[in-house]
A and B are shown apart, each in its own frame.
Chain A
Protein backbone atom coordinates (compact mmCIF):
# COMPACT_ATOMS: atom_id res chain seq x y z
CA UNK A 1 0.00 0.00 0.00
CA UNK A 2 1.02 3.61 -0.49
CA UNK A 3 2.91 5.32 2.28
CA UNK A 4 2.90 8.96 3.28
CA UNK A 5 3.77 11.20 0.35
CA UNK A 6 4.98 14.78 0.39
CA UNK A 7 5.42 17.39 -2.30
CA UNK A 8 7.47 19.08 -3.44
CA UNK A 9 10.52 17.08 -2.40
CA UNK A 10 12.74 20.14 -2.77
CA UNK A 11 11.87 23.79 -2.66
CA UNK A 12 14.12 26.80 -3.10
CA UNK A 13 12.55 30.08 -2.06
CA UNK A 14 13.77 33.64 -1.98
CA UNK A 15 13.61 35.34 1.38
CA UNK A 16 10.16 36.88 1.81
CA UNK A 17 8.42 34.44 -0.51
CA UNK A 18 5.45 32.35 0.65
CA UNK A 19 5.64 28.55 0.32
CA UNK A 20 3.13 25.71 0.64
CA UNK A 21 4.13 22.16 1.48
CA UNK A 22 1.72 19.28 0.91
CA UNK A 23 1.28 16.00 2.77
CA UNK A 24 -0.83 13.01 1.69
CA UNK A 25 -1.19 10.64 4.65
CA UNK A 26 -1.72 6.92 4.52
CA UNK A 27 -5.35 6.23 3.62
CA UNK A 28 -7.50 5.86 6.72
CA UNK A 29 -5.00 7.42 9.09
CA UNK A 30 -6.80 9.73 11.45
CA UNK A 31 -3.83 11.59 12.90
CA UNK A 32 -1.36 13.75 11.00
CA UNK A 33 1.76 15.42 12.34
CA UNK A 34 4.25 17.97 11.00
CA UNK A 35 7.86 18.10 12.17
CA UNK A 36 10.81 20.36 11.32
CA UNK A 37 14.27 18.81 11.07
CA UNK A 38 17.37 20.98 11.01
CA UNK A 39 20.53 19.55 9.48
CA UNK A 40 22.09 16.91 11.73
CA UNK A 41 19.35 17.18 14.36
CA UNK A 42 16.32 15.20 15.42
CA UNK A 43 12.89 16.29 14.18
CA UNK A 44 11.02 18.87 16.25
CA UNK A 45 7.24 18.82 16.56
CA UNK A 46 5.29 21.58 14.83
CA UNK A 47 1.60 20.68 14.85
CA UNK A 48 -0.90 17.82 15.03
CA UNK A 49 -4.32 17.09 13.51
CA UNK A 50 -6.92 14.54 14.37
CA UNK A 51 -9.14 14.37 11.31
CA UNK A 52 -9.69 18.02 10.37
CA UNK A 53 -9.23 19.36 13.90
CA UNK A 54 -5.88 20.94 14.74
CA UNK A 55 -5.40 19.70 18.30
CA UNK A 56 -1.93 21.06 19.00
CA UNK A 57 -0.01 23.83 17.27
CA UNK A 58 2.35 24.59 20.12
CA UNK A 59 5.45 23.83 18.05
CA UNK A 60 4.82 26.34 15.27
CA UNK A 61 7.75 28.77 15.62
CA UNK A 62 5.91 31.93 14.64
CA UNK A 63 2.64 33.24 13.25
CA UNK A 64 4.21 32.99 9.79
CA UNK A 65 3.59 29.24 9.98
CA UNK A 66 0.10 27.95 9.32
CA UNK A 67 -1.21 24.42 8.77
CA UNK A 68 -4.56 23.09 7.66
CA UNK A 69 -6.30 19.80 6.93
CA UNK A 70 -9.75 20.92 5.79
CA UNK A 71 -11.21 17.52 4.83
CA UNK A 72 -9.33 15.38 7.30
CA UNK A 73 -7.02 13.91 4.69
CA UNK A 74 -4.44 15.99 2.80
CA UNK A 75 -2.66 18.64 4.84
CA UNK A 76 -0.80 21.78 3.81
CA UNK A 77 1.87 23.58 5.81
CA UNK A 78 2.21 27.17 4.71
CA UNK A 79 5.08 29.46 5.57
CA UNK A 80 4.62 33.14 4.86
CA UNK A 81 7.43 35.62 4.27
CA UNK A 82 10.11 32.92 4.51
CA UNK A 83 13.32 33.65 6.40
CA UNK A 84 16.69 31.94 6.13
CA UNK A 85 16.17 30.27 9.51
CA UNK A 86 13.18 28.45 8.01
CA UNK A 87 15.58 26.35 5.90
CA UNK A 88 15.10 22.76 7.06
CA UNK A 89 13.49 19.47 6.12
CA UNK A 90 9.78 19.41 6.86
CA UNK A 91 8.51 15.94 7.71
CA UNK A 92 4.93 14.78 7.74
CA UNK A 93 3.78 11.68 9.61
CA UNK A 94 0.45 9.94 9.94
CA UNK A 95 -0.94 7.34 12.29
CA UNK A 96 -4.06 5.23 12.67
CA UNK A 97 -3.67 5.05 16.42
CA UNK A 98 -1.94 7.76 18.35
CA UNK A 99 1.17 5.76 19.10
CA UNK A 100 2.99 4.69 15.96
CA UNK A 101 3.69 7.36 13.36
CA UNK A 102 4.77 6.66 9.79
CA UNK A 103 6.80 9.30 8.04
CA UNK A 104 6.90 10.69 4.53
CA UNK A 105 10.13 11.45 2.65
CA UNK A 106 10.11 15.10 3.68
CA UNK A 107 10.34 18.40 1.85
CA UNK A 108 13.74 20.06 1.90
CA UNK A 109 13.27 23.82 2.00
CA UNK A 110 16.13 26.17 1.26
CA UNK A 111 15.56 29.88 1.72
CA UNK A 112 18.08 32.12 -0.01
Chain B
Protein backbone atom coordinates (compact mmCIF):
# COMPACT_ATOMS: atom_id res chain seq x y z
CA UNK B 1 0.00 0.00 0.00
CA UNK B 2 1.12 3.51 -0.72
CA UNK B 3 1.62 5.46 2.48
CA UNK B 4 2.88 8.87 3.51
CA UNK B 5 4.24 9.39 7.03
CA UNK B 6 4.68 12.69 8.81
CA UNK B 7 5.93 11.75 12.24
CA UNK B 8 6.08 15.23 13.78
CA UNK B 9 2.58 16.41 14.79
CA UNK B 10 3.65 19.98 15.42
CA UNK B 11 6.62 22.32 15.30
CA UNK B 12 7.36 25.87 16.29
CA UNK B 13 9.91 28.28 14.83
CA UNK B 14 10.97 31.83 15.51
CA UNK B 15 10.20 34.38 12.83
CA UNK B 16 13.09 34.77 10.32
CA UNK B 17 14.59 31.40 11.22
CA UNK B 18 14.70 28.18 9.21
CA UNK B 19 12.62 25.09 9.85
CA UNK B 20 12.55 21.63 8.24
CA UNK B 21 9.45 19.47 8.07
CA UNK B 22 9.96 15.73 7.60
CA UNK B 23 8.10 13.29 5.37
CA UNK B 24 8.68 9.70 4.31
CA UNK B 25 6.65 7.68 1.86
CA UNK B 26 6.38 4.17 0.58
CA UNK B 27 5.67 3.10 -2.99
CA UNK B 28 6.75 0.45 -5.43
CA UNK B 29 6.23 2.77 -8.42
CA UNK B 30 9.15 4.36 -10.19
CA UNK B 31 7.41 7.39 -11.71
CA UNK B 32 5.54 9.54 -9.24
CA UNK B 33 5.16 13.07 -7.91
CA UNK B 34 5.55 14.48 -4.43
CA UNK B 35 3.97 17.61 -3.05
CA UNK B 36 3.84 19.83 -0.03
CA UNK B 37 0.55 21.59 0.55
CA UNK B 38 -0.16 24.31 3.08
CA UNK B 39 -3.54 24.65 4.79
CA UNK B 40 -3.97 27.83 6.86
CA UNK B 41 -6.79 28.04 9.42
CA UNK B 42 -9.17 29.24 6.64
CA UNK B 43 -8.78 25.66 5.29
CA UNK B 44 -7.92 26.49 1.64
CA UNK B 45 -5.31 23.93 0.60
CA UNK B 46 -2.49 25.70 -1.24
CA UNK B 47 0.27 24.06 -3.27
CA UNK B 48 3.68 24.98 -1.87
CA UNK B 49 6.07 22.92 -3.96
CA UNK B 50 6.19 19.90 -6.23
CA UNK B 51 8.90 17.36 -7.07
CA UNK B 52 9.00 14.89 -9.94
CA UNK B 53 10.59 11.63 -8.85
CA UNK B 54 12.57 11.30 -12.08
CA UNK B 55 14.36 14.59 -11.41
CA UNK B 56 17.44 14.41 -9.22
CA UNK B 57 17.55 18.16 -8.66
CA UNK B 58 15.68 19.33 -5.59
CA UNK B 59 12.77 21.69 -6.26
CA UNK B 60 12.85 25.24 -4.91
CA UNK B 61 10.20 27.96 -4.77
CA UNK B 62 11.46 31.20 -3.26
CA UNK B 63 11.87 30.51 0.50
CA UNK B 64 10.73 26.91 0.16
CA UNK B 65 12.97 24.04 -0.89
CA UNK B 66 12.91 20.28 -0.60
CA UNK B 67 15.45 17.60 0.17
CA UNK B 68 14.37 14.66 -1.97
CA UNK B 69 16.16 11.38 -1.22
CA UNK B 70 14.62 8.84 -3.59
CA UNK B 71 16.45 5.77 -2.30
CA UNK B 72 15.50 6.59 1.28
CA UNK B 73 11.97 7.62 0.20
CA UNK B 74 12.33 10.85 2.10
CA UNK B 75 10.93 14.24 1.09
CA UNK B 76 11.52 17.04 3.60
CA UNK B 77 10.49 20.68 3.25
CA UNK B 78 12.77 23.51 4.33
CA UNK B 79 11.28 26.93 4.98
CA UNK B 80 13.86 29.72 5.15
CA UNK B 81 13.30 33.15 6.69
CA UNK B 82 10.05 32.00 8.30
CA UNK B 83 7.21 34.52 8.27
CA UNK B 84 4.10 34.80 10.43
CA UNK B 85 2.02 33.96 7.37
CA UNK B 86 3.71 30.57 7.20
CA UNK B 87 1.70 29.48 10.25
CA UNK B 88 -0.48 26.65 8.95
CA UNK B 89 -0.88 22.92 8.72
CA UNK B 90 1.49 21.38 6.15
CA UNK B 91 0.71 18.17 4.32
CA UNK B 92 3.08 15.97 2.40
CA UNK B 93 1.38 14.10 -0.45
CA UNK B 94 2.17 11.59 -3.18
CA UNK B 95 0.60 10.66 -6.49
CA UNK B 96 1.45 8.00 -9.01
CA UNK B 97 -0.20 6.04 -11.77
CA UNK B 98 -3.64 6.07 -10.16
CA UNK B 99 -3.73 9.90 -10.12
CA UNK B 100 -5.19 10.24 -6.63
CA UNK B 101 -3.26 12.06 -3.91
CA UNK B 102 -2.29 10.18 -0.77
CA UNK B 103 -1.68 12.56 2.12
CA UNK B 104 0.19 12.32 5.38
CA UNK B 105 -1.51 13.30 8.62
CA UNK B 106 -0.02 16.77 8.49
CA UNK B 107 2.11 18.88 10.76
CA UNK B 108 1.02 22.06 12.50
CA UNK B 109 3.66 24.76 12.12
CA UNK B 110 3.56 27.82 14.35
CA UNK B 111 5.77 30.82 13.60
CA UNK B 112 6.47 32.89 16.72
CA UNK B 113 6.94 36.67 16.43
Binding site for B on A (CB under 8 A): 31, 33, 35, 40-45, 48, 55-56, 59, 89, 91, 93, 98-106, 108
Contact = CB atoms under 8 A, between A and B. Distances in A.
Contact of A42 (B95, B98, B104): B104
Contact of B99 (A56, A102, A105): A56
Interface size class of B (residues with CB under 8 A): 20 to 34
B33 A103 contact: no
A98 B99 contact: yes
A105 B44 contact: yes
A33 B44 contact: no
Contacts of A40: 106
5 contacts: A41-B106, A45-B100, A89-B43, A93-B101, A99-B50
B45 interface: yes
B45 A91 contact: yes
Contacts, number: 60
Contacts of A106: 43-45
B106 A42 contact: yes
B42 interface: yes
Query: Interface on chain B toward A: helix, strand, loop, or mixed SS?
Result: strand
A103 B99 CA distance: 15
Contact of B35 (A41, A59, A100): A100
A100 B103 contact: no
Interface in B39-98: 42-47, 50, 52, 91, 93, 95, 98
Nearest to A44: B103
Nearest to B45: A103
B102 interface: yes
A42 B43 CA distance: 12
A41 B105 contact: yes
B101 A43 contact: yes
Given A31-B99, A48-B99, A99-B33, A42 B105 contact: yes
B93 to A, nearest CB: 8
Contacts of B47: 100-102
Given A41-B105, A41-B106, A42-B105, A33 B45 contact: no
